[in-house]
């Protein structure tokens, strides 16, 4: 009986030691810091420095511009993988406001946010890819920028998808190849398909 | 010489040996149950937050994807908590005057972070990685439950080692197609084991049970 009692005491004492190794003196991601005056353990970049691998001297890729002019082509080839990625990213970051069709009827708009212009007007159909990239990178009026949420390559993929969306919403049956027309009736609506 | 013990002590002593074994086993069982109970693991206890942020409203009603806010969940160990600016993408105009959102506006004005209370918290001696799971067909709801039904966030599972191992030993019980990882409404099909085995093969998932997987 005395042994059992001793064991119980040991177990209780053992349990009491747990916390030391549970909360070690290091930071987990985004944890509060007692050391820095702004309480953040995630440190901002020191002013005037560039992190290794983050030099962004390719204006066409990172700004969507050649000098002052908005680029009219894509900085890398658009494959079907890029297009599928673009659709997925568009549906994550843009549909809340612009809607799945890009007509500006998103859920957040229905709850009172300013209604964006539909993508399916002549001005935006004629706008170069660089324009869409620029809006996402720097924001536009009531829309904040998406530079911190959407990485550069994904932004270009979204541009490609928006361009495709514009075509698809401005097409007639004649644009569909003869052989594929039968499948139009088979599906409810092509835009409902998920490529994820 | 008279007897020290009465006759009845014979039965009593036999009984107490027997009873002692039961008592010890019962005590052990009770201890194990306690360590697994929400009292110790905190599972199911909704946490108060500085802003009453509701996943039920944002995910289920407004239909925002997890990745809109938890941007790093596919590519890094941590899912990330959205910065104040992300809230203000919408709340510059929606509920813009609401007192409920005052801490968010104050955070933007003063450039002080909102101090969210951590809900799921593994001990520091455990290594966990979101991208390793999310990219192999383990869905958010498998570990976090139906967040789209949580007005305030709580920890759904015990997060104990036996819980991790239950899946690491037999991932086919839980994996789903990659396209469904972010779908909160996904439910396991009737032939989950069969489908799961196919996916485990397709995604080249190995059973990871060596200690150094999680303790490194």
Predicted TM-score of the model (pTM): 0.92
Grade residue A194 by pLDDT with cuts at 50, 70 and 90.
very low
The answer to whether A96 contacts B112, with C-beta atoms less than 8 Å apart, is no
Measured distance between the N- and C-terminal CA atoms of chain A, rounded to whole angstroms: 64
Least confident of A34-43, A117-126, B133-142: A34-43
At residue A144, the pLDDT reads: 96
Tally of CB atoms within 10 A around B42: 15
The answer to whether B124 contacts A26, with C-beta atoms less than 8 Å apart, is yes
pLDDT at residue A15 greater than cutoff 60: no
Phi, psi torsion values for A65, nearest 5 degrees: -135, 150
pLDDT tens, A90-108? 999 999 999 999 999 999 9
At residue A60, the pLDDT reads: 94
Mean pLDDT of A25-42: 91
The answer to whether A24 contacts B89, with C-beta atoms less than 8 Å apart, is no
At residue B61, the pLDDT reads: 95
Distance in Å, alpha carbon of B112 to nearest chain A alpha carbon: 7
CA distances from A111 to A29, A97, A105, B65, B104 (A): 33, 10, 10, 17, 19
The answer to whether A92 contacts B65, with C-beta atoms less than 8 Å apart, is yes
At residue A9, the pLDDT reads: 62
Domain ranges of chain A: 73-171
Mean pLDDT of B113-129: 95
Judge contact between A114 and A121, C-beta under 8 A.
no
pLDDT, averaged across chain A = 88
Structure tokens at B12: 């009593």
Mean pLDDT of A115-130: 97
Phi, psi torsion values for A69, nearest 5 degrees: -75, 135
Q: Which residues of A touch B78 (CB under 8 A)?
A: 28-30
Interface predicted TM-score of the whole assembly (ipTM), two decimals: 0.85
Mean pLDDT of A96-122: 96
At residue A178, the pLDDT reads: 85
Judge contact between B209 and B165, C-beta under 8 A.
yes
φ/ψ bin of B158: left (φ > 0), alpha (ψ from -120 to 50), beta (otherwise):
alpha
CATH of domain A73-171: 1.10.760.10
CA distances from A194 to A48, A100, A108, A143, B205 (A): 43, 12, 22, 27, 25
CA distances from B117 to A31, A53, A164, B33, B50 (A): 10, 34, 42, 27, 8
Q: Which residues of B touch A9 (CB under 8 A)?
A: none
Mean pLDDT of A146-164: 97
Q: Which residues of A touch B93 (CB under 8 A)?
A: 112-114, 142
pLDDT, averaged across chain B = 93
- Would you call A41 an interface residue with chain B, using a CB distance cutoff of 8 Å? no
Q: Which residues of B touch A4 (CB under 8 A)?
A: 24
pLDDT tens, B160-188? 999 999 999 999 999 999 999 999 999 99
**Separation of alpha carbons B49 and B104, rounded Å:** 12
pLDDT at residue A184 greater than cutoff 90: no
The answer to whether A21 contacts B77, with C-beta atoms less than 8 Å apart, is no
The residue ranking higher by pLDDT, A38 or B17, is A38
Q: Which residue has the tokens 């088979």?
A: A186
Whole-number CA gyration radius for chain A: 26
CA distances from B204 to B62, B135, B177, B192, B198 (A): 35, 11, 13, 17, 10
Structure tokens at A76: 């890398």
- Residue B131's nearest CA partner among B194, B86, B71, B49 is B71
At residue A196, the pLDDT reads: 40
Contact residues for B109 (Cβ-Cβ < 8 A; gap 6+): none
Q: Which residues of A touch B113 (CB under 8 A)?
A: 38-40
Beta bridge partners of A143: A140
Least confident of A39-43, A181-185, B73-77, B193-197: A181-185
Output the DSSP codes for B74-123. TTSS------HHHHHHHHTTTTTT-GGGHHHHHHHHHT----PPP-S---
Give the three-class secondary structure for B54: coil
- Would you call A142 an interface residue with chain B, using a CB distance cutoff of 8 Å? yes
SS3 of A149-161: the string is CCCHHHHHHHHHH
Search chain A and give the residue with CA nearest B71: A149
**Separation of alpha carbons A139 and A1, rounded Å:** 74
Measured distance between the N- and C-terminal CA atoms of chain B, rounded to whole angstroms: 69
Minimal Cβ distance to B67: which of A23, A92, A142:
A92
């Amino acid at each position: 009986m005395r042994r059992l009692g001793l064991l119980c005491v040991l177990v209780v004492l053992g349990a009491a030691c747990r916390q030391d190794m549970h909360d070690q003196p290091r930071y987990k991601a985004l944890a509060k810091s007692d050391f820095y005056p702004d309480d953040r353990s995630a440190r901002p970049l020191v002013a005037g420095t560039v992190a290794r691998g983050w030099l962004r001297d390719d204006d066409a890729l990172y700004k969507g511009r050649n000098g002052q002019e908005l680029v009219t082509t894509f900085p890398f080839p658009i494959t079907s993988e890029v297009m599928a990625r673009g659709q997925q990213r568009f549906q994550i970051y843009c549909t809340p406001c612009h809607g799945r069709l890009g007509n500006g009827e998103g859920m957040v708009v229905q709850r009172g946010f300013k209604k964006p212009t539909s993508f399916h007007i002549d001005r935006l159909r004629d706008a170069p890819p660089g324009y869409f990239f620029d809006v996402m990178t720097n924001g536009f009026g009531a829309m904040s920028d998406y530079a911190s949420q959407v990485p550069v390559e994904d932004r270009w993929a979204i541009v490609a998808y928006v361009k495709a969306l514009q075509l698809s919403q401005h097409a007639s049956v004649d644009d569909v190849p003869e052989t594929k027309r039968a499948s139009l009736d088979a599906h409810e609506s092509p835009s409902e398909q998920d490529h994820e | 010489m008279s007897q020290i013990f009465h006759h009845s002590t014979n039965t009593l002593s036999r009984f107490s040996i027997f009873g002692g074994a039961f008592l010890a086993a019962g005590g052990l069982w009770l201890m194990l149950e306690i360590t697994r109970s929400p009292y110790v693991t905190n599972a199911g206890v909704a946490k108060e937050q500085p802003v009453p942020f509701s996943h039920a409203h944002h995910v289920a009603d407004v239909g925002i994807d997890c990745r809109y806010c938890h941007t790093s969940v596919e590519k890094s160990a941590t899912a990330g908590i959205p910065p104040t600016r992300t809230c203000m993408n919408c709340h510059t105009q929606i509920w813009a005057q609401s007192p409920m959102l005052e801490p968010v506006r104050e955070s933007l004005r003063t450039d002080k972070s909102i101090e969210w209370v951590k809900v799921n918290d593994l001990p520091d001696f455990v290594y966990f990685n979101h991208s390793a799971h999310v990219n192999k067909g383990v869905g958010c709801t498998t570990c976090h439950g139906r967040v789209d039904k949580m007005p305030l966030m709580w920890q759904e599972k015990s997060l104990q080692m036996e819980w991790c191992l239950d899946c690491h030993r037999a991932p086919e019980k839980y994996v789903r197609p990659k396209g469904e990882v972010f779908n909160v409404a996904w439910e396991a099909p009737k032939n989950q084991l069969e489908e799961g085995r196919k996916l485990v093969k397709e995604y080249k998932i190995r059973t990871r049970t060596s200690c150094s997987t999680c303790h490194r």
